[in-house]
Structure 1
Amino acid sequence: MSETEGNGADAQQPPQVKMQILGQYIRDLSFENILVRKGAQGEVAPDISVQVALDARKRPTDHQYEIICKFTINSKNKGDGAALFLLELEYGGIFHIENVPEEQLHPFLLIECPRILFPFVRRIVSDMTRDGGFPPLNLDPVDFVALYRQEIARRAQEVQQQAPVNGGTA
C-alpha cells in the first residue's frame, strides 16, 4: 500500500472522541431528617421519589464543559404521607471534550457525562441517608437517554404552546 492510500484511509475516519474528567465536586448538599424532628407516629413505611435535573454549560476554556446533576429525593410515609427526609444534591463535573460533532454535543453532555458522574452521586446519597439515620438508599440506575428525550419533548411542547400566542399578537 502506498503512502497516499494510507493517508486517504485515515482522512475518511472521523477523529477519535476525547473525554477527560478534570474535576468533580459537590456544589450543594442538604439532608433534612424530618422524622426525628417531628417524632415517629406509628409504623413507618417509606415511599421514595427521586427527581433528576441536568444542566450543562460551556466554560471559558476551549473544550471544557461543566455538568451539574441535581437530585431531589423525598421520602414520605406511605401510611399517612408524613415527610421522613429530604435530600437535595447538586453534583458537578468539569469535562474536557474534543472531536464530538456540534450536532451531537448537547446529547453527549447531558447523557454521557451524567452517566459517568452517577456512581459518585449514588455513593453520596447512600452515605448521607445512612449517616442521617436511615438505611442506606441505593439509587436505581438513571436512564439518562430517556431523561434527555423527555426534556427535548417538554421543550418542544413549550415552544409549540407559545407559538400561537406570539403569532396571534403580531
Structure 2
Amino acid sequence: MPLSIDQQIPADMLPATQEDKDYFDEVVGGSHFARDFLDVLKPYAFDLVPAVNSRGMRRVDGWKAVYEATVTKDVTNFFGFMHGAAHAWLVDTCTSAAIVQNHAPGFWDGQMLGGVSVNLDMQYFNPASIGTRLRIIVTIERINSTLANLRCDISEWDTGKRISSGVHTKAWRGGKAAAAL
C-alpha cells in the first residue's frame, strides 16, 4: 500500500506560511500561460532555507519543497486527463519556484531570477483526471553558481500513486553576463 502524504513528507519540513504563498503567487503570477492552473497551485511545505555562506551562495543540494494542485478541466486532453504539457508546465514552474525560494543577492537572482531552462525531461506513469489532488515534490539535486539540476515528482495526494516525474536542468548567469544575453 502506498504511503500517506504524512508519511512521505518529512516531519522537519516547514509548512508554507501565508507569506510563502503570497510570494509564490507574486513570482508565478506574472505568467499568462495556464492561468486557471495557477489558481489551484500552492506551496505546501519547504525544507529550511539555508543561510548565505561566505561566497554569497546557499548550500541547497538535496533541498525539498512540496506543492499541491488540483487538476482542472482547462489542463486536460480530449480524454479528460491532465495533458502532458500541463505536467511539464508544473515541473518547470515548481522547480523554478524552488530556486527562487533559495536565491540570494548575486546567486540566482536579478533579471534571470530562477534561471533559464536548458533541458526538461518527462516520464509519465499514470493519468490524472479532473479533480485529482496532486502532490508535487521538488528536489534541488545540485546547484552551483551557474547550473541547477532539479527533480520533480508528481503523484496523487492521498494515495501516493505516481503520475509523472520530470528532471529539469537550468542555467544562470549573474551580473554583466546576464545583461549581455
TM-score range, shorter chain: 0.3 to 0.5
Instruction: Give the number of the structure whose alpha-carbon radius of gyration is greater.
Output: 1
- TM-score normalised by L of structure 1: 0.33
TM-score normalised by the chain length of structure 2: 0.32
User: Which structure has more helix as a fraction of its residues?
Assistant: 1
